[in-house]
Amino acid sequence: MAAVSLSVSTVKPLADRVFVKVSASEEKTAGGILLPDAAKEKPQVGEIVQVGPGKRGDDGTRYELDVKVGEKVLYSKYAGTDIKLGSDEYVLLSEKDILAIVG
């Protein structure tokens, strides 16, 4: 199998998919205790960097997504496909897995 070179600009989500850059996880607790990697929870907040063209209805009409590039979103904990590009982490998910637009 040939190696594929991926970058954020080469990932084009299809249908109602959204490509999200995951926010960094907390390194310390509120009390100042450093967390080991095993104790850190997977972040559920990130910034949208790419969106698909939208889902097609039964009649062929394409419905645009409710979210846009640049918005911060909260998504389901076990949703999507995790992707690591360089030192950054991303998740590719369906719009239905986005719970809210935040801040």
Task: Show me where the domains of the chain are located.
Answer: 11-24+32-102
Lowest mean pLDDT among 5-14, 30-39, 53-62, 82-91: 30-39
**Residues 6 or more apart whose Cβ sits within 8 Å of residue 32:** none
The Cα 101–Cα 92 span in angstroms is 16
Query: According to the per-residue pLDDT averaged within each range, which of 4-8, 25-29, 75-79 is highest?
Result: 75-79
Mean pLDDT (the chain) is: 87
Q: Indicate the class that CATH gives domain 11-24+32-102.
A: mainly beta
Assessment of whether the complete model's pTM goes beyond 0.85: no
Residue 33 banded pLDDT, cuts 50, 70, 90:
low
